[in-house]
Amino acid sequence: MRILITGGAGFIGSNLAKLALTRGHDIRIIDDLSTGYADNLVDCDIDFHLGKVQDPQAAARAVANVDSIIHLGALGSVPRSIKDPIASHHANATGTLTILDEARKANVTHVLSASSSSVYGMNPALPKHEREWVRPMSPYAVSKLAAEQYTLAFQQAYGFDSIAFRFFNVYGPGQRAGHAYAAVIPTWIDAMLKGEPVWINGDGQHSRDFTYVETVCDALLQAVERRLTHVEPVNLAFGTNTTLMNLIEHLTQISGVEPDVRHREPRAGDVPHSQAQNDTLTALFPEIFPTDIEVGLESTWRWMAERS
């Protein structure tokens, strides 16, 4: 099967590409390398296209003659979107619409797209079911809501087979620190390895549903191989609820390093708590089980320590 992965040089995309290659698939990637890294794909036998997903000509070349599309290409980070909301909208909302429209023209009708748990926003319900109301708190979340709804609308308007997955906090090997918008786990591991302060935004009681990247990639690839479709968004997480202080404790136990924990003001746009209701996910993927957070963190720590 020939699969297009947009954003395939990024953290999730490169992990997915490597897994797909082991299963015998032909992989094409489009990435502008604005947040991804070419060295994530070293020794990978792929068809690489350098380009932006919101560029119709680049998107048209990328979607030509593929069987399915896994659309991960996006500009991540709530703080980044608050600083530059237009850039997030162009990459995430316009980029998704462009990929979908070029796929329509090319008669490629199976598309999986990555939405985000951030769309739930101000909704305080825990766990969060896909039919709960949404109230985004940042431009990033709005752009992801637009992206998922375009994905689902193309089912009704053009007969697409598609799924809009709501990713929660995906982590694991390959996720890098060292830049302004790095995720919390690699940022903290990097600080602990260097003996630098570990900064917590707020009191540390914010909670997240951390999901190991290998599990996410397995679900995405199964969805392609089985040509799955679903008429509503699907939470791609397993209902865990780890506070930031819990996360610090896990990392301390795994590493034997006592971190220098410091607190600062919460960030604008950050959702206080995030936890998935996963009934839909487990019905679609009964053979996929979550990776225990201690196991996932240990693997992530080891990957980062080897590169420090």
Q: How many Å apart are CA 187 and CA 189, to the nearest integer?
A: 6
* 13 φ, ψ (degrees, to nearest 5): -60, -40
Active site residues: 140
Are 30 and 53 in contact by the 8 Å Cβ rule? The answer is yes
Residue 149 is encoded by which pair of tokens? Answer: 């709804």
Q: Are 241 and 207 in contact (CB under 8 A)?
A: yes
CA separation for the pair 48, 15 (Å, rounded): 15
b/e for 228-249, b at 16 or more Cβ within 10 A?
A: bbbeebbbbbbbbebebebbbe
Are 58 and 51 spatial neighbours (Cβ–Cβ below 8 Å)?
Answer: yes
> C-alpha distances in angstroms, 280 versus 42, 71, 126, 252, 277?
36, 20, 16, 34, 8
Which residues does residue 206 pair with via DSSP β-bridges, in sequence order?
none
Q: d(Cα 216, Cα 114) in Å, to the nearest integer?
A: 11
Q: Which residues lie across from 50 on neighbouring strands?
A: 31
* Rounded Cα–Cα distance for residues 96 and 203 (Å): 36
| 3-state DSSP assignment of residue 143 | helix
What span, in angstroms and rounded, lies between the C-alpha atoms of 187 and 150? 33
